Amino acid sequence: MVLAIALLLAPSAGAKVFASQNQALREAFPGATRIERDSRILLEKDFARVQAITKDDKPAKVVVLHTAWKDDTLLGYAHIDVHNVRTKPEAFLIVLTPDGVVRSVRVLAFHEPLDYLPTDRWYAQFEGKRRDSRLRVGGDIHGVVGATLSAQAAADGVRRMLAYYQVLLQPGAVAAAEETEGLPADGDPAPGAP
């Protein structure tokens, strides 16, 4: 995965590299005293949960997440999503707040013709989105004339990061939610429950 990101961010003919991984992370978390890199292999149950959330047939089984800190204060999380748009790759950085809200989306490299690249203003519409947002082009996300596949790839990537947050970064919250399934909102046991 690291090699794939490194190759993608290396300049090549017709490709546009906007920022390196390290540069983008520093700029996303300017006050950070440390940014931790965490590579995770999705267990079968986690893989299935990410797949169910994203509706993606083949989510990655290895995920690299970055956690930014200022001393002991959590600043947020980031993930570089690498995928093909049409036939060539793009990479963008998705940054979440500590409570799982999209803070920013930034394109790092784009190897398709730049005519297919949405504007920064278009990417800004992801800001403030969370897991319960309808992150579908034509839903919460406006389409882009002439860049439909790029728009869809971006929405898919943000949805993946929000799923990683839910499944990998907040397992206690997910376990608590699963334990309370079937309970009325007031916390009393459901009728017929022991």
List C-alpha distances in Å: 23 to 26, 35, 37, 69, 71: 5, 12, 14, 16, 20
Reply yes or no on whether the pLDDT at 193 is more than 50. no
| 183 belongs to a structural domain | no
Q: Is 115 helix (H, G, I), strand (E, B) or coil?
A: helix
Q: How confident is the model at residue 141 (pLDDT cuts 50, 70, 90)?
A: confident
| 115 belongs to a structural domain | yes
| pTM reported for the whole predicted model | 0.78
How far is it, in rounded angstroms, from Cα 62 to Cα 136? 24
Q: Which two tokens stand for residue 122?
A: 């278009």
List C-alpha distances in Å: 136 to 31, 75, 143, 157: 32, 27, 9, 11
Query: Average pLDDT of 137-144?
Result: 78
Is pLDDT larger for residue 187 or for residue 118?
118
| 188 belongs to a structural domain | no
Looking at the chain, which runs of residues are DSSP E strands?
A: 16-17, 34-41, 62-70, 73-84, 89-96, 102-110
| 191 belongs to a structural domain | no
| 81 belongs to a structural domain | yes
Per-residue pLDDT reduced to its tens digit, 2-25? 444 444 455 445 678 999 999 999
| 190 belongs to a structural domain | no
Is pLDDT larger for residue 184 or for residue 112?
112
CB 92, CB 80: distance < 8 Å: yes
Q: 182: Cβ–Cβ under 8 A, 6 or more apart, which residues? A: 190, 193
Q: Are strands 62-70 and 34-41 parallel, antiparallel or unpaired?
A: antiparallel
Per-residue pLDDT reduced to its tens digit, 33-81? 999 999 999 999 999 999 988 888 777 899 999 999 999 999 999 999 9
Query: Average pLDDT of 162-191?
Result: 58
Please give the residue range of the domain that contains residue 165.
2-171
Give the bridge partners for 96, in sequence order. Answer: 77, 102
How many distinct structural domains can be found in the chain?
Answer: 1
pLDDT at residue 171, as a whole number? 58
| 182 belongs to a structural domain | no
Element (H, E) at 49: helix 44-54
Q: How confident is the model at residue 140 (pLDDT cuts 50, 70, 90)?
A: confident
| 189 belongs to a structural domain | no
List C-alpha distances in Å: 132 to 43, 101, 117, 182: 24, 10, 26, 20
Quote the percentage of the chain above a pLDDT of 70.
Answer: 79
